[in-house]
Amino acid sequence: MIITQKNYTMATIRLGDEAPNFTANSTEGTINFHEWLGDSWGILFSHPADYTPVCTTELGKVAKYKAEFDKRNVKVVALSVDGLDSHNDWIKDINETQHTTVNFPIIADEDKKVSELYDMIHPNASEKFTVRSVFVIGDDKKIKLIITYPASTGRNFDELLRVIDSLQLTAYHKVATPANWKNGEDVVISPAVTNEQIPALFPKGHKEIKPYLRMTPQPNVK
């Protein structure tokens, strides 16, 4: 869907939509997004600009979390409207100040094609720079999560890992995760599962709090 507002055209992406494909230059070469993802899950996240303090801490944190993303079969790519030369020079600052090594690509979206495709530029916030958007894409190329942060608020990547754990768990098991759930804790049995089906699906047992609220140990934890 395309929405036009005050002479500004933007795409609308919703949960369950196929992640729009694109080809773009990055610090690790040209990326065709769908080909680059392959059979992995993905995180596409934008930052307002290079050489900005909050963005520097965010990209440093992502680099430090690469092993956690790899464990979950998740590829991460960042994006801003700055050019490749700016990205590559800024990476040196990130490595120095955050005591890490940037180990994921950063897209140079100078023509704003990807930013507009993913509705990352919100004109009432800034007509030039992207907001802090996060898209989690499943291994089926579908959008699983969208979060938008203002420029003044850095993202919590522990929360993104928690959400990915939930998304991957619920993609393959008939469960949902309750408030403040963390990996390894009890989960909610889907309302679509009948009581008669529970023993076969959830051999660890379950607890019925209400007919619509049935808890079971996380099924993919031994």
Name the nearest CA neighbour of 130 among 146, 110, 104: 110
127 with 198, same domain: the answer is: no
Taking residues 33-37, what's their average pLDDT?
97
Last residue of a domain, one of 111, 127, 154: 154
| Strands (DSSP E) found in the chain | 2-5, 8-11, 23-26, 29-32, 41-46, 74-80, 106-108, 132-137, 143-149, 175-176, 187-189, 207-210, 213-216
For the chain, the average pLDDT equals: 90
Q: Residue 8: which domain range?
A: 2-154
Q: For the chain, what percent of residues have pLDDT higher than 90?
A: 74
Q: How far is it, in rounded angstroms, from Cα 222 to Cα 218?
A: 9
Which among 154, 186, 208 is the end of a domain? 154
Decide if 213 is catalytic.
no
Same domain for 62 and 124, yes or no, is yes
Residues 83 and 139 in one domain: yes
The predicted structure's pLDDT at residue 11: 60
- What's the confidence (pLDDT) of residue 128? 54
Is residue 15 located within the same domain as residue 121?
yes
Shared-domain flag, residues 19 and 121: yes
Question: Both 130 and 204 in a single domain?
Answer: no
Would you state the pLDDT for residue 4? 35
Rounded average pLDDT over 154-183: 96
- Would 165 be classed as within a structural domain? no
Instruction: Give pLDDT tens digits for 100-134.
Output: 999 999 999 888 888 888 887 654 444 555 557 89
Strand pairing of 74-80 and 41-46? parallel
Query: Which entry of 31, 37, 44, 55 is annotated as an active-site residue?
Result: 55
Handedness of CA 158, 164, 167, 169 (dihedral sign): negative
**Which of 23-27, 78-82, 95-99, 181-185 is predicted with the least confidence, judged by mean pLDDT?**
78-82
- Sign for the CA dihedral angle at 204, 205, 206, 211 comes to positive
Overall average pLDDT of the 16-30 stretch: 96
Domain total of the chain: 2
CATH number of the domain enclosing 200: 3.30.1020.10
| Whether residue 180 sits in one domain with residue 77 | no
The DSSP annotation for 66-122 comes to HHHHHHTTEEEEEEESS-HHHHHHHHHHHHHHHTS---S-EEE-TT-HHHHHTT---
State which of 101, 119, 154 marks the end of a domain: 154
Mean pLDDT of 173-186: 97
Q: What is the structure's pLDDT at 2?
A: 36
Do 61 and 138 fall within a single domain? yes
For residues 211 and 111, the model is more confident at: 211
